[in-house]
Amino acid sequence: MHTPQSLFANLPSSLPKELVNPLLEMPGFRIERIVSYGHSSPEGFWYDQDTDEWVVIISGAARLQFHGEEPIEMKAGSFINIAAHQKHRIVWTDPNQPTIWLAVHSTPVIEELID
């Protein structure tokens, strides 16, 4: 039997660190719910992931920064694609309400040229 689930279920009122819940995993592909509650990346820390990542903010707000660029504002409905190894960090998330992210990770496809 298929039972629907909710991205808004089991949201704690506070979190000591971001909450990451895998929703679907298969080879080369992963979907996860991330809940931030005033969390940000440590000063000087940059994510440098092996996977492409597409993220959308379901609720709340955040500031995302790519290396060498100014932070960008994101709010509910905002989405962006982050290419593998594109350094980025979370500058700020709303401390007054949970910021719920839906992140889709996929392994980049490498095309080989055949001579």
Band (pLDDT 50/70/90 cuts) for residue 8 is very high
d(CA 84, CA 47): 10
Cβ–Cβ contacts within 10 Å for residue 8, how many? 12
d(CA 42, CA 65): 13
- Classified by CATH at the fold level, domain 19-106 comes out as Jelly Rolls (2.60.120)
pLDDT at residue 14 in the model:
80
pLDDT at residue 67 in the model:
98
Q: What is the pTM of this model?
A: 0.88
The DSSP symbol for 60 reads: S
CA 105, 76, 43: angle at the middle one, nearest 5?
65
pLDDT at residue 112 in the model:
56
pLDDT at residue 19 in the model:
94
pLDDT at residue 114 in the model:
52
Instruction: Say if residue 7's pLDDT is above 60.
Output: yes
pLDDT in tens, 29-45: 999 999 999 999 999 99
Q: Are 17 and 30 in contact (CB under 8 A)?
A: no
Sequence ranges of the domains in the chain: 19-106
